Amino acid sequence: MLDLPNCPKCNSEYTYEDGSLLVCPECGHEWTLGLETENSEDKKVIKDANGNVLNDGDSVTIIKDLKVKGSSSALKVGTKVKNIRLVDGDHNIDCHIDGFGAMKLKSEFVKKI
């Protein structure tokens, strides 16, 4: 029998091969044999509207007028946002916008400068 590695997500020893993938029956995690040590789910790739990879500290531009809850004004197209922070969740960009303050934005409404 093959000596398969434990699941990198839940550390289960009951992993099995399914074609080129390794599968954990306990948590349902699937991975390839070369990537089990990298733990790729811990580091998610966040992309802007054009498909460019975003990183902490990047500057972005808003590509669509966005309504702001609790405010009568909106964020306009072309508003520049500097020094973004990437976070987990539905709104995956945390930033500070001059004139509005702290904001959370979705990456699909920005493009990298």
List pLDDT tens digits, range 42-78.
567 899 999 999 999 999 999 999 998 888 889 999 9
pLDDT the model gives residue 8: 87
Name the pTM for this structure: 0.60
Is residue 93 within 8 A of residue 86, CB to CB? The reply is yes
